[in-house]
Structure formats: structure tokens, C-alpha cells
Structure 1
Amino acid sequence: MDFLKRNYGWMIVSLLALLPMLIISKMIQVDVGNGLSISLVENTIGDEQTTLDMLYHISGEFAIRWMTAVLTLTPVFIIFGIQHLFVRQAMGIATAIWSILHFIIFISAEGFLETFTQFNYIAGGIAVLILIPLLITSNRKSMKRLKKNWKKLQSLAYVAVGLSLLHVAILDKTWIIYAVIVSLGFVVRMPIVRDKFLERRKRKQGLTH
């Protein structure tokens, strides 16, 4: 019970991050009869798009959704005082995994060299490269080993976010809503705005006590 109380947030995030894999599993067929072979199953969801296109779309959408969710945690803490380090860590891991999966699907469909043909592809590729070391060091051992450098390394996530938002905004204008949400979050982080929210929280806490 103590384990569940300490880790329920991390477990919920992990479950939500893995659920879309159930959809993806229906699109992929693995045959181990004559050696390992992996093939795509077409028309699994009754859509005109190919399975590869759907995999590319699903992975990219969940990558940017998790990235946006991670960046809303600090504004939520500033406004409401709700904070959970391990939830943030789990969301960060989910972001990196879905982003890397999205990149793998892209190069499987288009080839690695296609990454360098368009600015939005280059931006997305660099973002994934940044997320890889952040994923590898997203654990307590790395925090203890790197110490102050760990925060500096993790701060590169903001660069990855900027590049990712640029990538999706150019690729699909409808995804610009994520950029709007993230931008509002950064407004809340501004010292003049943040301090007002923190002062308001303190006054409310003083009234309750």
C-alpha cells in the first residue's frame, strides 16, 4: 500500500502512455515462424490512410501531447501549488519514448537522409537527438552522479520543446494550439506573473489557517 501511495502518479502516467500501444499493436504483425519478420497490417481502422501514415500521425501526436503536458506542470504548481516530481519524470520519459518512436517510424518510411530535406524535419530530428540523453539520465543515479550539471542538461528540454513546436506548427497548422498552451505556460512562469500567483496562494493559505 505504501508503494502505491508513493508511486500512484507515476503508475497512472505510465498506463496512459502505454494505452495507445494497444492501437499500434493491431497495425503490426510479428511472425517468428521462419525467423523474426515484422509487417504492417493495412485497413485496421477503416481509414483511407496507409498504416504507416497512421503510425506516423499517432506517434507524433502523442509525443507533442506529452511534451505539452510536461510543460504545464510548472504553471500548475505556480497557480495551484500542486507538484509531483515523479509524475514530471514519468511524463518526460513518455515524451522522449514517443518522440523517438515517431522519428524511427519517419526514417523507416522516408529514409534517414530525408530528415535533412526540409527545415521542419531538421528541427524535429534535432529535438529527438536532444531528448535521447535526457531520457538516459532521467533517473536518480544520474541525478546524484551529475549533481548540478543534471539540471543544466535537463534544461536542454526547452530547446527540444521549441524545435518540436516549430516542427508541428510548420507541418500541420491545426497543431498550433499546443504552441499556444505552452506559450501561456511561459507567461505564467514570468517573474512578475509568477510572483502574483505565489502571493495570492500565500494569502489564501493564511486565511485557511
Structure 2
Amino acid sequence: MKFISKNYGWIIVAILAILPMFVILRMINLDFINGFSITLVEGTGEGSRTTLEMLYHVTGEFAIRWMTAVLTLTPFYVLFGVSNLYVRQAMGIATAIWSFLHFIFFIWAEGFLETFSQFNYIAGFIAVLILIPLFFTSNRKSMKWLKSKWKKLQSLAYLAIILSLLHVAILEKTWIIYAVIVIVGFIIRTPTVKERLLAFRKEKRRVNTL
């Protein structure tokens, strides 16, 4: 119980990140009996999409959602004073895993060389490359080892989200909502706006305690 009460935020993020995986598992057959093999369950795509196209779409959607959510944590803290570093790490891990799955299904569908055929694919590929070191350093040991360099490394997430937004924008997907959230988040992060919001929240808390 002590572990759960101390890590409830991390556990909630893990559950939210894992639950959609069951949708993916319904589209895949894993054979462990006759040697390990993976086959797709045809007919599970929506509309005119094939199963592989559906897998590619679903993983991409969840990747951009988690990435956007991670970048809203600092604005959320500025506005409401709620912050949890380890929840941020858990959300970062979820972002990376869904992004890796998206890239894997892309290669499965199109082949690795197709990655370099269009600008939007290259942007997505670079975003995935950026997420690799962020994924492997999203833990307490890395924080202690890298010290001040850890935050600098993690700040590359901003570049990853910009590249990801370019990736989905060029593909003409429903990206505008994510772009708006990220832009508002960046505005809140600017020193002038951030200081005013923190001062306003502090003053409001002082008045409420009188």
C-alpha cells in the first residue's frame, strides 16, 4: 500500500498507456507454439483501412497525444501549482513507446528506405531518434548521473514535438488541436507570462488565507 500511495501517479499513467495496447493485440496474432511469429488479423481496420494501416494510425495518434500531454505539465504547474516529476517521466516513457511502435509499423508497411522519401517522414524519423536517449534516461539513476545535463537533454523533447507536429500536419491529420495546446503551453512558459501567472496565483492564495 505504501508503494501505491507513493507512486499512484506513475501507476495511473502506466495503466492509461497500456490499456490501448489491448486494441492493438486484437489486431495481431502471436504464435509461440510453432516458433515465434507475428501475423495480422485482417478485417479489423476501420472503413477502408487495412489492419496494418489501422495499427500505423492508432499508434501515431497515441504517440502525439502523449507527447502533447507531457509538454502541458509545466503550464499545468504554472496555472494550478501541481507538479510531479515522476509522472512526467512516466508520460515521457509512454510517449517513446508509442512512437517506437508507430515507427515499427511504418517500417513494416512501407519499408525502412521509405523513411527518407518525404520531408514529413524524415521529420518523424528525427523525432523518434531524439526520443531514444530521452527514453533511456527517464529514470532516477540517470538524473543523478547526468545532474544538470539531464534537464538539457530532456529539453530536446521540445524539438521532438515540433518535428512531430510537422509530421502530422503535412499528412493532413487532425493536428490543429495538438498545435494549439503546444502553442498555448509555450506562451505560458515564457518568463513574463509565467512570472505574472505565478504572482497572481500566489496573491490569490494569500487572499484566501486571510
For Structure 1 versus Structure 2, the TM-score category normalised by the shorter chain is over 0.9
Deviations 1:152-204 (A, max 9, x none): 11111111111111111111242122011100110111112111111111111
Answer yes or no: is 1:180 the counterpart of 2:204: no
CA, structure 1 residues 46+161, in 2 after alignment: closer, same or farther (shift >3 Å)?
A: closer
| Residue 208 (structure 1) shift | 2.5
Partners in 2 of 1:34 and 1:194 — Cα distance? 58
Q: Secondary structure at the match of 1:39?
A: strand
8 Å CA contact 2:26–2:41 kept in 1: the answer is yes
Residues 45 and 54, structure 2, Cα contact 8 Å, conserved in 1: no
What is aligned with 1:207?
Answer: 207
Contact 2:56-2:106 at 8 Å conserved across structures: yes
Change (3 A) 1:46 1:111: closer
Q: Secondary structure at the match of 1:29?
A: strand
Please report how far the alpha carbon of residue 45 of structure 1 lies from its aligned counterpart in structure 2 after TM superposition. 5.4
Partner of 2:192: 192
Secondary structure class of the residue paired with 2:175: helix
Q: State whether residues 66 and 95 of structure 2, in contact with CA within 8 Å, keep that contact through their aligned partners in structure 1.
A: yes
Provide the TM-score with structure 1 as the length reference. 0.96
Is the CA contact (8 Å cut-off) linking 1:28 and 1:41 kept in structure 2? yes
CA distance in 2, matches of 1:148, 1:193: 25
Structure 2 residue runs without a partner (length 5+) = none
Q: SS state of the match for residue 26, structure 2?
A: helix
TM-aligned CA distance change 1:77 to 1:154, over 3 Å: same
CA contact (8 A) 1:29 1:41 kept: yes
Moved more, 44-53 or 29-38: 44-53
Contact persistence 1:143–1:150 (CA under 8 A): yes
Matched, 1:100 2:100: yes
8 Å CA contact 1:168, 1:176 repeated in 2: no
**C-alpha distance in 2 between matches for 1:164 and 1:16:** 21
Matches of 2:80 and 2:69, distance apart in 1: 16
Q: What do residues 112-170 of structure 1 show as CA deviations (whole Å, max 9, x unaligned)?
A: 00000000000000000010011001111111111111111111111111111111111
Q: Distance in 1 between matches of 2:91 and 2:60?
A: 15
SS at match of 2:181: helix
Q: Distance in 2 between matches of 1:52 and 1:137?
A: 31
Q: Is the partner of 1:174 in helix, strand or coil?
A: coil
1:80 equivalent in alignment to 2:73: no
Residues 41 and 78 of structure 1, relative CA distance in 2, 3 Å threshold: same
Percent same amino acid among aligned pairs? Answer: 68
Which one has a larger percent helix, Structure 1 or Structure 2?
1
**Counterpart residue number, 2:20:** 20
Q: What are the residue-to-residue correspondences of 1:1-209 with 2, within 5 Å? A: 1-44=1-44, 47-209=47-209
Kindly provide the CA deviation profile for residues 79-115 of structure 1, in whole angstroms up to 9, marking residues without a partner as x. 1111111111110000011001100110111010000
Distance 1:115 1:46, change over 3 A: closer
Cα distance in structure 2, aligned partners of 1:141 and 1:84: 17
